[in-house]
Amino acid sequence: MPDLAQLDYQLRPALWIDCGECTVTKLHKLAVKCHDAKIWVVKKCPGDLVPLRHAMKKAELRENRYGLLALDAEMFREICGLMQQRNEVTLYACEFDPPKLQMDFNGLWFDAEFTVEKF
């Protein structure tokens, strides 16, 4: 199951997003079974992309098929510390060129950059 998905009109995945831990085996199966879907993996910091890219390359996954996104580590830690049972999130901007995120999380403003890569 994805952490976030968008289905097309035939109820097939058009967008598949996995956050945190995601095996290379799962990524390969997704590329085969959801061949039209855009597949993204989201990590908490840019350093977490290094072992993932290495494992993907070692497993010879098809290149130019996956999107990799890493959040700002400091922002991620701060949001984790502010997390409550119920949270209020308003996304004001999410740009990919250049990568920038602006949002309100439980009444606090976040303005951060993030890392975007293709594999």
The CA-atom distances, in angstroms, between 118 and each of 34, 40, 41, 63, 68 are 18, 9, 10, 8, 6
pLDDT digits (tens, 9 = 90+) for 70-117: 999 999 999 999 999 999 999 999 999 999 999 999 999 999 999 999
Q: What DSSP assignment string belongs to 48-82? A: GHHHHHHHHHHTTPPTTSEEEEE--HHHHHHHHHH
Give me the pLDDT at residue 87, please. Answer: 97
Domains by residue range for the chain, with CATH: 4-118 (3.10.640.10)
pLDDT digits (tens, 9 = 90+) for 20-73: 899 999 999 999 999 999 999 999 999 999 999 999 999 999 999 999 999 999
Structure tokens, 47: 């350093």
